[in-house]
Amino acid sequence: MTFTRSRWWRDRFVSRGRSPLHPESSPVELVPSSRNQNQAQYSPDGKRIAFESERSGVLGVWISDNDGSNLIQISNPRFVSGSPQWSPDGKKIAFDSRLLDRWEIDVADLSERIPRKLVTNISDVTRPTWSRDGKWIYFMSNEVGKTGIHRCPAWGGDAVALSNDPRGFVAHESFDGKTVYFANHGATPVLKQVSLLAQPGAASELNELPRVSAALHWTVSRGGIYFVPADAPRSLRYFDFATKQVRRIFDTEKDFGDGLSVSSDGRWIMYAQDDDVNGDIMLVDHFQ
């Protein structure tokens, strides 16, 4: 499978927060920009957010306080980067970067703000996420013959395949560390699960959960999965692990962007949303 990062021709902002416990509360806009922005993620302590943004002209990874203040870019500004994910201790961020014709995963220690390549035995890797104990990084492989969901030690090392589904796209570990959920890349993706206690490759579909509207329109919480269904792309829903039931959380007036994130206390959910079509007026100095 050849991976390409999708682009939207409508601007997005990061993002609007709502309380899952009080969905009637008004959303709050964070980090406005006329440029494309997506995949916002709360830090484990809820005090900061990380997101991808084209505000500098090149897609990069940025962090800010949870109110959108104190913006800092942590990715190399020369390379296209995105898909940020916080480590469980909140001290590092993993993200993907495109160098030449391949993608790699970088890990930046926030005390240094210097990205370092995650070295593993698979090339062309994207979409990193962390295990709950911080010992593993999950990712999607685009290497021919090794496509699918893998994981390797967070400090680097040989990777192990978790699913032989070549369309496996992005993975999230359950809070008890026993299961990995992932979406398959397609027009209306299905969510699948694989037990970390079973043999690799034995993935099964979550039959009770409807298809999602996009491969990045879902996230795992302690008790269930928040998702945007394919048949209602402007509605946020919640799948409860215990009851296997789905309930509506809230509806929006505009389309969801890529990425959902729930705060660690379960009070807020953050998402990107399509904004109105607009643009920037640029001034070129010493033009000839």
pTM confidence score: 0.86
pLDDT at 11: 34
Instruction: For Cα atoms 166, 272, 92, give the angle at the middle one, nearest 5 degrees.
Output: 70
Structure tokens at 147: 């496509």
Strands 28-29 and 218-220 come out as unpaired
Contact predicate 124/144, CB 8 Å = no
pLDDT at site 144: 87
| pLDDT tens readout for residues 194-238 | 998 876 667 888 889 999 999 999 999 999 999 999 999 999 999
- Give me the domains of the chain, ranges plus CATH numbers: 12-274 (2.120.10.30)
Residues of the chain with pLDDT below 70 are 1-26, 199-201, 275-288
The CA-atom distances, in angstroms, between 195 and each of 40, 113, 179, 225 are: 27, 34, 5, 17
How do residues 90-119 score in pLDDT, each as one tens digit? Answer: 999 999 999 888 899 999 999 998 999 999
* First-residue to last-residue Cα distance in the chain: 44
Distance between CA 13 and CA 34 in Å, rounded? 8
- What's CA 173's distance to the chain center, in Å? 13
